[in-house]
Amino acid sequence: MTETTPSFWVVIPAAGVGSRMRADRPKQYLPLNGRCLIEHTLDCFLDQPGLSGLVVCLSPLDEWWPVLACATDSRITRADGGDERADSVLNGLQALTSLGADERDWVLVHDAARPNLTLSDLQILLITLQNDSVGGLLAVPVRDTLKLAGPDGRVSSTPDRSLFWQAYTPQMFRLGALRTALSDALVAGAVITDEASAMEWAGHSPRLVEGRADNIKVTRPEDLEFLRRR
């Protein structure tokens, strides 16, 4: 029996400049196997039967998006990115509301810079969380020994790594709860680096859903080299 998956909306934050890549363009437009990273990322979602709609958050100065074939895809709506990733995501959530999304609808937020998401991981996330009271995120248990750095750049301690997971995306929450948590956290000046941290700030405990470790975020040059070698 194949388990059914819920309907969902998607927000793709893609308004960053990719400074850590030190490339000649924002990293979401760097080539991978003949197409831009963002095209690979969008493909993970566009043919999903449960997709209600997708918003891509882009810099108002983005000159790379309009020449892509997906720029004219009727399933994709463009929203302006903000100063930080969290601001971009909040703009994307507000765009979903304009598209008719309901407060109780599931929203998946996925980094444009993660082009290697698999269908199986997407389905695992949707199936695992579809009846969850909070939502959650794809994540990977830490596999290396961790070191806490001291102010002198030397090891301060070795924490128990069994308690640590790396947060990945997609992160999946109900539209209204996420928008409220994110908006309130930003107004309060909280440091929000992912959607789960906004939900945690609001007092919720997102569920960790174990996914593939190769759903990496392309952040530094070697990350793209890794994907190109596959």
Ligand X SMILES: C[C@](O)(CO)[C@H](O)COP(=O)(O)O
Contact residues: ligand CTP, CB under 6 A? 13-20, 28, 57, 81-85, 88, 111-113, 217, 219
x/- mask, ligand X, residues 166-185, rule CB under 6 A, reads: -xxx----------------
Q: Hey, what are 74's tokens?
A: 């009727």
Contact region for ligand X (CB under 6 A) — 3-11, 162-170, 172-180, 222-230? 162-170
Contact region for ligand X (CB under 6 A) — 4-12, 33-41, 42-50, 161-169? 161-169
Tokens 């002198």, residue?
A: 152
Q: Hey, what are 181's tokens?
A: 């948590």
Contact region for ligand X (CB under 6 A) — 30-38, 55-63, 88-96, 163-171? 163-171
Residues between 185 and 224 with contacts to ligand X, criterion CB under 6 A: 193-194, 217
| Under rule CB under 6 A, residue 110 binds ligand X | no
Assess whether the previous peptide bond of 221 is cis (omega < 30° from 0). no
- Measuring CA to CA, which residue among 29, 37, 20 is closest to residue 227? 37
- Length of the chain counted residue by residue: 230
Binding at 19: pick from ligand CTP, ligand X, none (beta carbon under 5-8 Å per type): ligand CTP
Could you tell me the CA-to-CA distances from 158 to 141, 167, 186 in Å, in that order? Answer: 16, 20, 32
What is residue 204's three-state secondary structure? coil
What is residue 150's three-state secondary structure? coil
Q: Which segments of 14-119 are extended strands (E)? A: 31-32, 35-36, 51-58, 76-80, 106-109
| Under rule CB under 6 A, residue 85 binds ligand X | yes
What is the smallest separation between the CB atom of 188 and ligand X, expressed in angstroms? Answer: 19
Contact between residue 205 and residue 134 where contact means Cβ atoms under 8 Å apart: yes
- Tell me the residue nearest to ligand CTP as measured from the CB: 16
Binding at 193: pick from ligand CTP, ligand X, none (beta carbon under 5-8 Å per type): ligand X
- Residues forming contacts to ligand X in the complex (CB under 6 A) are 85, 111, 167-169, 193-194, 217
